[in-house]
Amino acid sequence: MTSRAFVYILRAVERGAFPKSRKWAWKRLYNILSRTWRDSDWRFMNYGYMPAGDAFALTAEDEPERAFIGLYHQAMAGLPVEGARVLEVGSGRGGGARYIARYMAPAAVTGLDYSPETVRRARQLNADTPNLTFEVGDAEALPFADASFDIVVNIESSHCYANVPAFAREVARVLAPGGCFTWADMRASTMIEGLDRDLGASGLVLESETNLSPGVVSALDAVDERKMSRIQKTAMMRRFLKEFSGAKGSILYGTLKSGAVVYLARRYHKPLA
């Protein structure tokens, strides 16, 4: 039953059906997860990324999160982060924003999430990082002034939004001229044309696109045992959590591996004039 329901949800997302209802449902789901999944060693909710031969330095404390941090490492690599004002939209439990704040010397990092419970959890988990703050807010109506940030990050979050073009326009608004928007998320292969239109609504200039799918599958393989060990401790929704988390044998794992779903990374910049 859970698998059939999950297939129905995926097909509804692909058709663009019920956008406001889906947005409300995602918010409810993340509120529930943040109340029930309270482990202090889980700062991430993404699928991860582990490309072959891509090594980067981490402290012993952060090494267990390498697979998840990989999505943020690829998103920020080569960008002028030092001294920059960074915004992460859809910051979840805060692990990615924390990685940027602790390793890349930005002036400040702001994490924004639609789920109040998740923001509360992120503040608790990342209180040891002084140049990092978290706020509750809507990706489609960002609560920031024009040109407030030099870099906007959005990792594995935009599939939850009701209006991606509105989000893209908001990103362009809060970016300073010359700023960068770095994005990564999954879409069914049939949705890529629509994605081009949605993100293109920003007026930002596309610089690059990378298919991350093989490295994402590698990350899912690497963390599967740890993930399933935690899911087995959950009293309810085990089958749903297996599907939701992309565990081996799940529908999303299979579609990522087959190419029916593609995990993409893109970078855009805002022209100086």
Instruction: Provide the pLDDT confidence category of residue 228 given band limits of 50, 70 and 90.
Output: confident
Instruction: Tell whether the model's pLDDT for residue 40 goes beyond 90.
Output: no
Give a yes or no: residue 254 inside a domain. no
Q: What is the pLDDT of residue 38?
A: 58
In a domain, 166, yes or no: yes
Burial of residue 55 (CB within 10 Å: 0-12, 13-18, 19+) is exposed
What tokens appear for 178 in the block? Answer: 């010359």
Number of domains in the chain: 1
- Model pTM score: 0.86
Confidence of residue 1 (pLDDT cuts 50, 70, 90): very low
> What's the domain range around 84?
2-216+261-269
Tens digits of per-residue pLDDT, 53-69?
A: 878 999 999 999 999 99
Q: Answer whether residue 234 is part of any domain.
A: no
Burial of 52 (0-12, 13-18, 19+ CB in 10 A): exposed
Domain-located, residue 179: yes
Reported for 238-244, long-range contacts at CB under 8 A and 24+ positions apart, including other chains, are: 239/2, 239/3, 240/2, 240/6, 243/2, 243/3, 243/6, 244/6, 244/29
Of the candidate ranges 6-15, 194-203, 260-269, the one whose mean pLDDT is the lowest: 6-15
In a domain, 98, yes or no: yes
The answer to whether residue 50 sits within a structural domain is yes
Q: Is residue 244 part of a domain?
A: no
| pLDDT above 90: percentage of residues in the chain | 65
pLDDT tier for residue 198 given thresholds of 50, 70 and 90: very high
pLDDT at 77: 96
Would you say residue 177 lies in a domain? yes
Position 2 scores a pLDDT of 47
CA of residue 159 relative to chain centroid, distance: 9
- Residue 252: which pLDDT band, with cuts at 50, 70 and 90? confident
* CATH number, residue 46: 3.40.50.150
In which band, very low, low, confident or very high, does the pLDDT at 103 lie, cut at 50, 70 and 90? Answer: very high
SS3 at position 52: coil
Query: Distances from the Cα of 177 to the Cαs of 140, 168, 207, 241, 266, in angstroms?
Result: 20, 15, 15, 41, 18
Share of the chain above pLDDT 70, in %: 82
pLDDT at 6 over 50: no
